[in-house]
Amino acid sequence: MAVGVAETITATSALDGQALKSYPISNADDITQNIKQARIAAENWAATPIAQRLSFMAALQTAILEKIDHITETLVTVTGKVKTEVILGEIYPILELIRYYEKNAAKILAPRSEVTSPFAFPDAKASIERQPYGVVAIISPWNFPLQLTLNPLITALVAGNAVIFKTSELSVPVGELILQLCEHIALPQHLVQQVIGAAKTGESLIDNRPDLVFMTGGLNAGRAIMARAAQHPIPVMLELGGKDAMLVFADANLKRVCKAALYGAFSNSGQVCVSVERLYVQDLCYTAFVQELCAATAKLTIGHGVEGDLGALTTLAQFEIVQAHYQDALAKGAKASGELQLHGRYLRPIVLWDVNHDMQVMQEETFGALLPVMAFSTQEQVIALANDSQYGLNVSVWSLDIAQAEQVARRLKVGNWAINDVIKNIGHAGLPFGGVKNSGFGRYHGAEGLRQFTYTVSGLTSRSKLDDEPNWFPYSDDRYLQMRGFVDFLFGKGSLYQRIKRNGAALQAFRGYASSNLQQHWHNLLIHLGIGRDF
């Protein structure tokens, strides 16, 4: 998609580069108006019972199913994906997330009133509530424009927020599709709005001060958004890039591993934030496995015919990065399963082996159909190799020794891991998803992810009938001694008897703290210890 003359963006097909439709770029005044409208909608939506919010999400699920073929064709055209990839990677995760919220959201967001109060808070009830932020700005990428816009959008709505979203400038027709779905289910006016444009539009959106920014994209874009949001300041959640590793021990089911590696590395032509971009194979099976992997890669098909495993590149600009990583690896001694071939907008997948960490392909995010393979000998070595990355998004470990595999996974500096499976763990609606290191921070999916679209409000209600409290004025040396004794009684060394015995005089200042039904027990205890006086 290219910025056209004046103030429009022209959408193009990822299949052949042909123009599809032009869209007006949102200007600063447009976005200011969007924010004002969203604030009104957010206030009303926050007061809407969660059961009613969820009924809209159920209607959205129905609408997606009714329009599934149209949605699929739109995404094939805009992203270059094959149809099966659209179903698996774009549509299914959305439907699964809606189902998860239908079953769990009310409980996840329910107020908590069972918070235990410490001794210093008698006759007090502590509670925790969650409130929606208000207006959430969602900035989404071009590789999964439906899922990575709708999933956080749905989460924000269920939590009680309004949403203003900006898709990548490469994905504007998908944003238009999302608005059509929202109109179809008759969401309240201005509750979900779209702004259109590139980086400057995103900057203007942040400068209009939404209450929370959720962004999925590359590291540099994430840094820019974080810096911009810090000027106001606005909380941000960032899901950034990855350089995900796949660790294969010699005892693994290698037939399964080979098929998983192909899928993990080449699904969506490698344009997945959790693609397998580093494959470590134990030296005991390395040579034979590389041969099998190369043979299996050669059988993969590209294109949008009756059969097709890999679709088109969404943007040809990504090919320049893939090509640079490929050439750098060969120049530094790596071997390749073939020449890098781009057929129109379709890239043949390539296996690289005998790679090392001096190569760009093992350090920088490729986001394309290259699979670099490196040998390792010991468990400690492969853990060190896997952790030798600026990224920490997802990882998979492969071994028939499940206990060993889980032990290894827990030592890896990532936000998510899977044993004997690849990528699929990210589609688990109940598991919070997000990264560490340069892969970002914050989580979505699961209970934790839903709560992160709200903020915590803590409350304390006192039912004390006392006219005074020991911590209130006036202060004096006597009050200092009482407070010191109180602290020693609560946290000092020795048994309860010993702590009460040595601080009995100080504790007299707190005799009124005991509620009416406990005062006599407190009095009797002090009398028994020989330090009590009449109340």
CB contact at 8 A, 210 and 137: yes
Q: Per the residue annotation, which of 85, 90, 169, 239 is the catalytic one?
A: 239
The C-alpha atoms of residue 412 and residue 418 are separated, in whole angstroms, by 11
174/86 Cα distance (integer angstroms)? 13
- What dihedral do alpha carbons 271, 274, 276, 277 form, nearest 10°? 70
How is residue 111 annotated by DSSP?
Answer: -
DSSP H or E run through 179: helix 172-184
Among residues 182, 273, 285, 294, the one annotated as catalytic is: 273
- Quote the CA–CA distance of 511 and 465 in Å, as a whole number: 13
**CA torsion, points 115, 121, 122, 124, in degrees to nearest 10?**
-50
Residue 96 makes CB contacts below 8 A (sequence gap 6+) with 427, 429
Residue 294 bears catalytic tag: no
Length of the chain counted residue by residue: 535
What residues form DSSP beta bridges with 444?
Answer: 433
Q: Is 166 helix (H, G, I), strand (E, B) or coil?
A: strand
C-alpha distances in Å from residue 363, one per residue of 142, 325, 355, 372: 22, 10, 11, 11
Q: How far apart are CA 341 and CA 343, in angstroms?
A: 6
Query: Would you call 285 a catalytic residue per the annotation?
Result: no
141 phi and psi angles, rounded to 5 deg:
-95, 180
Catalytic residues: 239, 273
